């Protein structure tokens, strides 16, 4: 790929855009186990959600360009280091956003459109502000991250019911160990960028305890789709296995390796858990 287009691809934070879209697709297929599947709506979810998230990430690159220069992980980002200027990034982000929102409104419904608007605004403005000001920014950011699966679900059902709320809770809780693990192994980055974050404010041991607590809460929440009858016994067995894997990673190495190594391992495991969880949510309603 040409260097310039590669830079634009980096601007949308492809890992985050792809994985969040995946959670939207999972929500869609859970809905399709209770109401008839509509392929056009699926197309709307895939492209609409992906484009809106991509757009939000581009705007985040612009807003965070100063912070990004102060962190080792982000200092090579295109807007931060001037490879793409602010104006071009804003045009790119706006084009993605307009196409994304138009796709959502045409192919899904008004409720899903509004969820997209809320998530978009929340990530860029509310989280963008909180990130600089409070140690609770992770919890606040988690709200935006938990909305795509809800949007995928409402795109088909047109309403927020208990299943939609459970999806929100599962993904919200998944994000806490995911991000606190990053906060641990990137602690010096956050410290030099002067961003309040749990590991910097309260230390590594406290963050480790938080991760363990949220991993347990996630494990409990992932069973709720079964408890409330949206999925069946195979979903429960497999989701218990996934949670057990994550908990095992947390507990087995808790005092055996250094904190940073432990956190890196938990982060890697969080991605395995995310993919497995998306898969189980998507097929859970069809399994016996
Ligand atoms: C459901 C929501 C979320 C999903 C699906 C998700 C997914 C991912 C994935 C797949 C990666 C690895 C690929 C990459 O680096 O681009 C990643 C990394 C990252 N995520 Fe998340 N994430 C979510 C929520 C969050 C939240 C709430 C935060 C912070 C408040 C966060 C912060 C980060 C950071 C900083 C990285 C880079 C880690 C590094 O390489 O040092 N994520 N995320
Ligand atoms: C529909 C819609 C817009 C949904 C939002 C989905 C989304 C982008 C979720 C990610 C949540 C989040 C707080 C990521 C961290 O960003 P960060 O800025 O702290 O990450 P960075 O340090 O890598 O810049």
Position 288 scores a pLDDT of: 87
Centroid of ligand 1 to alpha carbon of 250 (angstroms) = 19
Residue-wise pLDDT for 57-92, tens only, equals 999 999 999 999 999 999 999 999 999 999 999 999
The interface pTM score, or ipTM, of the predicted complex is: 0.90
Q: In whole angstroms, what is the distance from residue 287 CA to residue 234 CA? A: 6
Centroid of ligand 2 to alpha carbon of 90 (angstroms) = 17
Give the tokens for residue 172.
């919200």
CATH class for the region spanning 1-159 = mainly alpha
- What's the mean pLDDT in 271-279? 98
Position 7 scores a pLDDT of: 87
Length of the chain: 288
Residue-wise pLDDT for 144-184, tens only, equals 999 999 999 999 999 999 999 999 999 999 999 999 999 99
Give the tokens for residue 5.
């287009």
* Nearest alpha carbon, ligand 1 atom 37: 182
Nearest to 218 by CA among 176, 180, 174: 174
- What's the mean pLDDT in 112-122? 98
Q: Is the pLDDT of residue 254 over 80?
A: yes
Residue-wise pLDDT for 6-62, tens only, equals 889 999 999 999 999 999 999 999 999 999 999 999 999 999 999 999 999 999 999
Which residues are near ligand 2 (CB < 6 Å)? Answer: 16, 20, 52-53, 56-57, 60, 64, 74, 116, 119-120, 123, 127, 131, 141, 144-145, 147-148
């Amino acid at each position: 790929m040409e260097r310039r287009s590669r830079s634009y691809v980096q601007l949308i934070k492809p890992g985050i855009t792809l994985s969040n879209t995946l959670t939207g697709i999972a929500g869609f297929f859970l809905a399709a186990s209770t109401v008839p599947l509509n392929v056009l709506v699926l197309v709307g979810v895939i492209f609409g959600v992906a484009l809106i998230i991509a757009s939000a990430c581009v705007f985040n690159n612009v807003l965070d360009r100063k912070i990004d220069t102060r962190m080792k992980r982000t200092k090579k980002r295109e807007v931060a280091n001037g490879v793409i200027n602010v104006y071009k990034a804003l045009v790119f982000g706006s084009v993605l956003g307009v196409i994304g929102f138009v796709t959502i409104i045409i192919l899904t419904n008004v409720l899903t459109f509004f969820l997209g608007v809320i998530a978009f605004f929340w990530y860029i403005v509310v989280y963008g502000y909180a990130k600089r000001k409070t140690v609770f920014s992770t919890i606040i950011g988690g709200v935006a991250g938990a909305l795509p699966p809800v949007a995928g679900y409402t795109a088909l059902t047109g309403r927020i019911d208990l299943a939609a709320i459970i999806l929100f809770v599962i993904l919200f809780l998944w994000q806490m160990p995911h991000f606190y693990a990053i906060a641990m192994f990137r602690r010096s980055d956050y410290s030099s960028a002067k961003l309040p974050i749990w590991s910097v404010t309260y230390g590594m041991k406290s963050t480790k305890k938080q991760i363990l607590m949220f991993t347990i809460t996630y494990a409990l929440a992932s069973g709720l789709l079964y408890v409330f009858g949206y999925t069946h016994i195979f979903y429960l067995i497999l989701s218990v296995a996934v949670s057990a894997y994550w908990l095992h990673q947390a507990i087995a190495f808790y005092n055996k390796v250094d904190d940073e190594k432990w956190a890196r391992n938990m982060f890697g495991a969080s991605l395995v858990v995310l993919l497995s969880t998306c898969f189980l949510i998507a097929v859970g309603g069809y399994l016996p």
